[in-house]
Amino acid sequence: MRVKYEVMLNEFQRVLEKYGFNRQDAHEAAEIFAQNSLAGVYSHGLNRFPRVIDYLKKGEIDPSARAECTMSFGAMERWDGHRGFGPLNARLAMARAIELAKKSGIGLVALGNNNHWMRGGSYGWQAADAGMIGICWSNTCPNMPAWGAKDRRIGNNPLVMAIPRSDGQHVVIDCALSQFSYGSWSCAV
């Protein structure tokens, strides 16, 4: 069964508004879920949506919170996400890093106290679309064992590198420490 992009987008938005997002933020957040699913990254699209709704119900995500700069050192800034919706805060932080880079040649924004940023490659694409090289990474909770261990001690930390190309066919590498990202599944043939 296939669901049209617009139908998925509208349903995501409707539900997010129900759980406290204003109309504009709900639309932008719904686009993130729908675009990730459209790109085939269901683990950070449709499949992640119920978990985000659960976090909203528990109060772990504040739908009205916005990241803000708490320290600035020229081309480097530290931002507090105030436990807002991770992808919207991460987009804002990347937009600021791009702005700083245009002014200073480099822009570095460290975003803390945030929720899951979803598909890290989104921010690499955001940088590349602005004509910038992007390097992004994030920490995670311990969710996998080290080689040969029995308990989870290390995170599946994502790393994103993006290089813009004039024809729009950017080079974007979105990877993590394990064979697949947390929340996704794979099938070998």
Active-site pick, 44, 82, 116, 170: 44
- Could you tell me which residues come within 8 angstroms of residue 88 by beta carbon, excluding any fewer than 6 positions away? 25, 28, 29, 32, 66
Strands (E), the chain: 68-73, 76-80, 108-112, 134-137, 159-163, 171-175
Per-residue DSSP letter, 154: B
137 by Cβ neighbours in 10 Å (0-12 / 13-18 / 19+) ranks as exposed
80 Cα distance to chain centroid: 15
Rounded CA separation 23/29 (Å):
10
Identity (one letter) of the amino acid at 141? C
Is 44 noted as a catalytic residue in this protein?
yes
Residues acting as catalytic residues: 44
